[in-house]
Amino acid sequence: MPVITYRDALGAAIREEMQRDDRVFLMGEEVAVYQGAYKVSKGFLQEFGEMRVVDTPITELGFAGVGVGAAMVGLRPVIEFMTWNFALLAIDQVVNAAAKMLYMSGGQFKIPIVFRGPNGAALQLSAQHSQAWESWLAHIPGLKVIAPGTPYDAKGLLKSAIRDDNPVCFLEGEMLYNTKGEVPDEDYTIPIGKADLKREGDHCSIITHGKMVLVAMQAADQLAKEGIRLDVVDLRTIRPMDVEAITASVHKTNRAVVLEEGWEVCGVGAQVVDYIQRDCFDSLDAPVLRVHQADVPMPYAKGLERAAKPDLPKTIAAVRKVMYLD
């Protein structure tokens, strides 16, 4: 199986869907002539032309709205935000138009649109460019929210998102674009709403998503040297969430750590813990712990930024604590 980057897996997904269905088009800032801010759309303009690979002004609200209108009349837009932090300017179209249109039209207008771009922190991008948006978006009925952590999942889930008749928010990670993994050449999709058990163990469950999957796997490798076997549950989809996968893991291990990039208050992890306490209360041998970003705007200074982020030492410390080893 070929080994490719997360970036190339995303590009392959969009290209294959554009080849398969001429209603699919890509629109956003620098997606055409510049070939994408992160080079996901490299070669697209030459292959598909300017009617299907559309450069826009710096007008997130405007081109998100154009995308919603295009979806209403039967096209299948893929809207790229240079970062989800910029999508805050387009949130009215995402939340009040895309998410609600099917409901408010009494089922007359499906909105087959994908909003995609990098989410969360990179390196020294400071407070306004480092936010993780999944808990904000997952709060909205009518939106599907996906956050893949591997190239394989990124390709399969993006193809599913483009084929879906509902609006999908697809959250990538800037720090994931250069990561590599095995990705089949042949056509495949991954069901939206289905988690993946990335590692099997029986001592403690780590429930995570997005770029934190890499941290969870590193923790599993390191703790395995001590004889501690972790179940690593990659949610992949935040809404709808695979509750059955979460609870099956916790029933098996009797302990859980929820690892996420976002802030603690009202975060994705809070929802995961709610499902665990409802369905696994009698199975728990320890309180569920959460590992997350510090409750501050992201600092710019390297040392402070590192201290604010969830990381491997904090994850390992949480696992050891729920196992009463520290």
* Residues in CB range of 172: below 8 A, 6 or more apart: 6, 10, 116, 117, 118, 119, 148, 154
Return d(Cα 30, Cα 41) in angstroms, integer.
Answer: 9
Active-site residue flag, 129: yes
List the catalytic residue out of 17, 29, 60, 261.
Answer: 60
DSSP letter string, 201-252: -SSEEEEE-TTHHHHHHHHHHHHHTTT--EEEEE--EEES--HHHHHHHHHH
Token pair recorded at residue 115: 């909003």
Cβ distance 63 to 97 under 8 Å? no
Return d(Cα 54, Cα 44) in angstroms, integer.
Answer: 10
Active-site residue flag, 251: no
List the catalytic residue out of 129, 203, 209, 292.
Answer: 129
Alpha helices (H) along the chain: 6-20, 44-48, 60-72, 91-92, 101-104, 134-138, 151-163, 212-224, 243-253, 268-279, 302-308, 312-322
321 burial (CB, 10 Å; 0-12 / 13-18 / 19+) is: middle
Cβ distance 199 to 173 under 8 Å? no
Active site residues: 60, 129
